[in-house]
Amino acid sequence: MKAPVPQKIVPNLWFDHEAESAVKFYTSVFKRSSAGKVLRYGEEGFERHRKPAHSVMLINFELEGYRFTALNGGSRFKANPSVSFFVTCETTGEVDTL
């Protein structure tokens, strides 16, 4: 991953257990994108987080120079329309591609 651009807010996307596949998808769609540091759950704390040891807890990633974090936090929170991300495209072809 490239050196991060100055960014005061880094959006965190909450998943049950799909963070890794979501990051693979997002970074395959957007140019100049990459996955970064991966943190994994340990054996400690299982009684609280209920995630298998060594499974992905969070992944930092970058899309077109913007940093994000994907978190496998469990089913406690569900995706909802309270926050949206908009992608500005320059051409109709780019819209169709994305």
Give the confidence band of 5 by pLDDT, cuts at 50, 70, 90: low
Two tokens, residue 83: 């926050």
Query: What pTM does this model have?
Result: 0.81
Of 35, 38, 77, 34, nearest to 54 (Cα)? 38
Residue % of the chain over a pLDDT of 90: 48
Q: What is the mean pLDDT of residues 19-23?
A: 95
Domains of the chain: 12-97 (3.10.180.10)
In tens, the pLDDT along 22-66 reads 999 999 999 899 999 999 988 787 767 677 788 899 999 999 989
Contacts of 55 (CB under 8 A, 6+ apart): 17, 40, 41, 72
